[in-house]
A and B are shown apart, each in its own frame.
Chain A
Amino acid sequence: MNTPALETLGLHKSFGALTVANAVDFRLEPGARHALIGPNGAGKTTFVELVTGALRPNAGQIRLAGADVTQLVQAARVKLGLVRTFQITALFRRLSILENVTLAICERQGIGGGLFRPAGHHRTAIEEAHALLEQLGLDDEALHPVNTVAYGRQRMVEIAMSLALSPKVLLLDEPAAGVPSSESGTIIEVIERLPPDLTLLIIEHDMDLVFRLARRITVMVQGSIMVEGPPEAIAADPEVRRVYLGERAPA
């Protein structure tokens, strides 16, 4: 069996009496197109925060390509290729799109703390950022402050920021959240075009998007994994329909 790209063993997190992750055992195979779904408050985003290191688990282990990263800070996990996007757009709002992406690329190249040369002299970083914007069709507004562009585009910048870090494992937290369905197609296309060796976990509410992208689905309810399987099996699972899809199980 392959070493999973990402794996959690008995991951546990509670805030007082509220358990938000309850002994979560989860595997993400290399190159996976995996979706994590569940009703509001199921602990999906908390799971992302635990895996990326923004939150510390009370117990359990997180392994990245077989290596234990539970004790590593977030920045160190990013360096190992574990990258996330945010459900609620988290960009440098008053900075230009190009600046947003260039900052990410500078960190990946390890020059983000450089004091001696002007940022403008790191031309390869800027060119790489611009090339990425071209690829995503964002280059026409490259110099616009990110808070002045359309919301759908901000979501694209959100994805661009993560791609700038050359991820190996990418956690997309509701990539199309808040985007009108007329525009969400572009985002889905971008995700579909991602390189096949990139391991992808999509946390999503939008079932169209999930069934279009995912080849495997995990359903999470109240901090625990309820069921996992291929999309057809999940769609047909009466228990999932009852708790999540909001339909009564056929009699």
Chain B
Amino acid sequence: MTSISTVDAFARRHRYHLLEALPWLAAVASYFVFPDYLALGAQILATILFALSADLVLGYAGIVTLGHAAFFGTGAYIAGILAAHGWGEPITGLLAGAAAAALLGFVSGLVVLRTTGLALLMQTLVVATMVAEAANKASFITGGDDGLQGMEVWPIFGKFRFDLFGHTAYFYCLIVLFLCWLAARHIVHSPFGRSLTGIRENVRRMHAIGAPVTRRRLVIYTISAALAGISGALIAQTTQFVSLSFLSLERSGTVLIMLIIGGVGQLYGAFIGVPLYMVAQNRFSEIDPVYWYFWIGLLMVVVVVFARGGVLGLFDRFRR
């Protein structure tokens, strides 16, 4: 390869590939093919955003977290509490949820990101547990164990009312996911995003080339928290309900499972893993309401044994 073409090939990696249209075509097609499942579809789209936010920290920066539900739940509660107390405007609700989650991400990140590996994992878990317990104690505003009741979400732009069938909710989630994906994709392909992969691959080297590693990790942790907050707010607004389970360890763990099934660190793992997991969960729980978790577990075992890189990892293997 000549030097010009090597540099060109390298410099062109951020350009859009035709395959990247696939998830969006599939999402629009699903709207027409499964009109009876739009509510589930909206949940899937919002959860993809949650998994995408986790991918930015885990897959790109190598920050192992078991506390991402803290940000998801914070976004959900902020949007939910606003809507339950007379401010049901959805867009500002989303932004408020994002801002609150980002603030929590920044402040907790200042503390937890001083560590790495298992210590970091435990600290993220501690932060999430503390937030969940705070929400439980503050039942006068969060509704505690009963969940947050009485949300009233206004029509989007004063025009598009959230309907019973989920038409509005579906497109609302789809558009917000699309915008957030554009932002995430832009970040990943920026010099900052590239430096995150450096941090994931070799922290010592990153220090040795003079990169402010801690600051970079804090920035992506905050951005990721904001996206997780938007995801939680989306689910709160479209289901008009928030409960303590939004902040649970199970929620933090499940999003990682969905991401791992899809493939970590490739930006598209969320788009495969989340629908796969949630559709499987939906089907399994209908067929076998008691033991459906067993089948999810089996799916996870199959992925770990036969497809270490998740579904995307399988594609990569076939391409070679």
Complex interface: chain B residues within 8 A of A115 (CB): 186-187, 190, 192
Q: Does B210 contact A (CB under 8 A)?
A: yes
Q: Say whether chain B's binding surface is mostly helix, strand, loop, or mixed.
A: helix
Q: Does B212 contact A (CB under 8 A)?
A: yes
Contact B194 A161, beta carbon cutoff 8 Å: no
Stretch at the interface among B89-97, B100-108, B198-206: B198-206
Q: Does B114 contact A (CB under 8 A)?
A: no
Complex interface: chain A residues within 8 A of B192 (CB): 112-115
Q: How far is the CA of A108 from the CA of B191 in the complex (A)?
A: 12
Contact A90 B202, beta carbon cutoff 8 Å: yes
Q: How far is the CA of A146 from the CA of B286 in the complex (A)?
A: 48
The closest CB in chain B to the CB of A74 belongs to B207
Q: How far is the CA of A96 from the CA of B6 in the complex (A)?
A: 12
The closest CB in chain B to the CB of A165 belongs to B209
The closest CB in chain B to the CB of A92 belongs to B201
In the complex with contacts A79-B210, A119-B189, A95-B10 CB distance below 8 A:
no
Complex interface: chain B residues within 8 A of A86 (CB): 204-205, 208
Contact A107 B205, beta carbon cutoff 8 Å: no
Q: Does B17 contact A (CB under 8 A)?
A: no
Q: Which of B226-274 contact A (CB under 8 A)?
A: none
Q: Does B159 contact A (CB under 8 A)?
A: no
Q: Which has the most chain B C-beta neighbours within 10 Å: A118, A123, A130, A165?
A: A118
- Residues of chain A at interface, number, CB under 8 A: 50
- Please pick, from A94, A102, A107, A126, the residue contacting B210 in the complex, using a CB distance under 8 A: A107
Q: Does B281 contact A (CB under 8 A)?
A: no
Q: Does A195 contact B (CB under 8 A)?
A: no
- Please pick, from A93, A134, A165, the residue contacting B3 in the complex, using a CB distance under 8 A: A134
Q: How far is the CA of A53 from the CA of B215 in the complex (A)?
A: 18
Q: How far is the CA of A244 from the CA of B259 in the complex (A)?
A: 54
- Residues of chain B at interface, number, CB under 8 A: 36
* Closest Cβ–Cβ distance, residue B2 to chain A (whole Å): 9
Contact A52 B3, beta carbon cutoff 8 Å: no
Contact A78 B208, beta carbon cutoff 8 Å: yes
Complex interface: chain B residues within 8 A of A107 (CB): 195, 209-211
In the complex with contacts A86-B208, A103-B209, A161-B209, A114-B191 CB distance below 8 A:
yes
Contact B201 A130, beta carbon cutoff 8 Å: no
* Closest Cβ–Cβ distance, residue A81 to chain B (whole Å): 10
Contact B3 A118, beta carbon cutoff 8 Å: no
Q: Does A24 contact B (CB under 8 A)?
A: no
Q: Which of A122-164 contact B (CB under 8 A)?
A: 122-123, 126-127, 130-131, 134, 139-140, 142-143, 161, 164
Q: How far is the CA of A93 from the CA of B202 in the complex (A)?
A: 8
Contact A116 B208, beta carbon cutoff 8 Å: no
Q: How far is the CA of A165 from the CA of B210 in the complex (A)?
A: 9
Q: Does A117 contact B (CB under 8 A)?
A: yes
Contact B13 A120, beta carbon cutoff 8 Å: yes
Complex interface: chain A residues within 8 A of B193 (CB): 119
The closest CB in chain A to the CB of B204 belongs to A90
In the complex with contacts A93-B201, A98-B10, A113-B195, A78-B190 CB distance below 8 A:
no
Contact A113 B215, beta carbon cutoff 8 Å: yes
Q: Does B9 contact A (CB under 8 A)?
A: yes
Contact B14 A78, beta carbon cutoff 8 Å: no
Q: Does A91 contact B (CB under 8 A)?
A: yes
Complex interface: chain A residues within 8 A of B167 (CB): none
Complex interface: chain B residues within 8 A of A116 (CB): 190
In the complex with contacts A107-B195, A115-B187, A130-B6, A120-B14 CB distance below 8 A:
yes
> What are 7 sample pairs from A and B whose C-beta atoms fall under 8 A apart?
A78-B209, A91-B201, A92-B197, A106-B194, A112-B191, A120-B15, A130-B7
Residues of B within 8 A of A (CB): 1, 3, 6-7, 9-15, 186-187, 189-195, 197-198, 201-202, 204-205, 207-213, 215-216, 219
Known: A117-B191, A120-B14. 7 other contacts (CB 8 A): A76-B210, A112-B195, A115-B186, A119-B194, A126-B10, A142-B1, A161-B208
* 10 cross-chain pairs, A with B, having the tightest CB-CB distances, nearest first: A78-B210, A92-B201, A120-B11, A118-B14, A114-B191, A104-B209, A75-B210, A90-B205, A119-B191, A107-B209
